[in-house]
Amino acid sequence: MKKVSLFLLLSVALCSTLLGQETPEATRQRLDFARTYFEAGAAYTPSFKGPMIQDGSITQATHAGKLHPYLTWGGFHFWGHAEFYVVFPLANLNIQSGPEHDYLLKHSVVTGARYLPWAYQPGKLRPYVGLSWSALDFRPRHASPEEAPVLINNFVPAPDAGLLFGQSKWVGRLAVNYLPKNTWEYAVSPTQMETFRTPSWSLQAGIIYTFENGKDKDEAVNERWNSYPRRSKLATEDSPKGDWFVGIGPSTSFGLQPSAYSQAAYPFLNAQLNSGNYWDIAVGYQWNQAGWFTALSYRNPTFSTHGYGVQQQVQKTSLALELSKILVDWGGFAPFVGLNLAWDQLDYLETTEAGTLETQDRSLQPGLTFGWDIVPGKTDEFFILRTNLRWYPFSRFEVEGESFQFAQLEYNLIQAVFYPERFLKQRKNRR
């Protein structure tokens, strides 16, 4: 991984030097800072071999190459010099039929960034390098796939490099992805662990559709927004002192520590639990001039894992009170950081052939909040998009006297935030 990081660093340094020789062709206006896109494509992973129990003995089984269709939601930022994106895997398609395809290998990008040394422009070929925070799901070929556990690697730093070429609103992508964490200790039976090495690279091709969603219908409003400094406070002199808001958006939680209880009792299961998708619902108040906001957020995620007749589930119900500081408005990108205190109720359910085990824990958990708002119109906008991340490093509870570590990172990808007072004010002014 160090060699890959050094390679990317040298590549970026070289590209930055070359970029210094390029004269920008377009005027960098505030509202040209970002452009949203959707991408559809597929990645190809090659075949590999891995252990499999067959007729009571271990054999090396072929796992054939596969196609992995995906959808990406992202955007070009910093006037075409960067991409920020997330990838949603759709399926694992078999290139041909046969038992060698009966396995799971899924690559999700929780969030990723790419650097384009030459800003993207239609009609010009543009190289890029990038790094993503990825998650991998893996279940090898198995005699009883419905009983076999699915292992998850939560935090995989995955470099990539590629080329872009487009015309008008359409862009094509060719890329190669490197997956450094490709070694798995997998339980081929409840008592037998084997080592698997999945492919460390994949090839990717995609089609991108770009569109503009940061401008107002009124050109006079766009001229005013473009007049704002590139770096400034979020509020202007005309901004109200404060506004109420409500927000809702999809979230996922990632386990950060292995559970000592699970490792001892069920070493074949995931020791770090991830949640399914859930809604993050918030109501709060923003002090515009001071650049602070507070919010009360409700979340209700479910975490589960299963394999070889054992199922673990944690149902979390949480209310978090948070206070965050908006650091700067940089071309409509406004990062923030803050603290929160959450009241958590954790309901644990364990199901085995011997029966069920239940326990409940209630506690106050301190956490760190950070994220960013997309605000091309500063406080003029009554509807914005917000990304929240919350880190809870101390969460844990006990099962049968053993510690069940439950540290998490909540990732609220996109929260739609509505300011009713701003909406009523704009509606009144435009009559």
Query: Does residue 226 sit within a domain?
Result: no
Examine the domain organization and report whether 106 and 240 are in the same domain: no
CB 257, CB 272: distance < 8 Å: yes
Examine the domain organization and report whether 92 and 179 are in the same domain: yes
Query: Does residue 227 sit within a domain?
Result: no
Query: Does residue 76 sit within a domain?
Result: yes
Examine the domain organization and report whether 15 and 147 are in the same domain: yes
Examine the domain organization and report whether 299 and 186 are in the same domain: no
Tell me the percentage of the chain whose pLDDT exceeds 70: 93
Query: Does residue 359 sit within a domain?
Result: yes
Domain range holding 347?
232-429
| pLDDT 10s digits, 284-309 | 999 999 999 999 999 999 999 999 99
Examine the domain organization and report whether 180 and 286 are in the same domain: no
Q: Per-residue confidence at 30, pLDDT binned at 50, 70, 90?
A: confident
Bridge-partner residues for 76, per DSSP? 35, 83
> What's the pTM?
0.85
Query: Does residue 324 sit within a domain?
Result: yes
Query: Does residue 175 sit within a domain?
Result: yes
Examine the domain organization and report whether 298 and 197 are in the same domain: no
Domain boundary among 181, 211, 241: 211
Among 19, 130, 44, 126, which Cα is nearest to 83's? Answer: 130
| pLDDT 10s digits, 360-402 | 999 999 999 999 998 988 888 899 999 999 999 999 999 988 8
Examine the domain organization and report whether 36 and 176 are in the same domain: yes
Query: Does residue 55 sit within a domain?
Result: yes
What average pLDDT does range 274-279 have in this prediction? 94
Examine the domain organization and report whether 139 and 84 are in the same domain: yes
| pLDDT 10s digits, 151-201 | 998 888 999 999 999 999 999 999 999 998 899 999 988 988 999 999 999
What is the reported pLDDT for 22? 46
Domain boundary among 177, 211, 245: 211
Q: How many domains does the chain have?
A: 2
Q: What is the 3-state secondary structure (H, E, C) of 162-197?
A: EEEEEECCEEEEEEEEECCCCEEEEEEECCEEEEEE
Examine the domain organization and report whether 197 and 332 are in the same domain: no
Examine the domain organization and report whether 172 and 261 are in the same domain: no
Averaged pLDDT of the chain:
88
Examine the domain organization and report whether 345 and 383 are in the same domain: yes
CB 115, CB 130: distance < 8 Å: yes
CB 188, CB 53: distance < 8 Å: yes
Examine the domain organization and report whether 90 and 166 are in the same domain: yes
The CATH number of residue 387's host domain is 2.40.160.20
User: Is the pLDDT at 19 greater than 50, yes or no?
Assistant: no
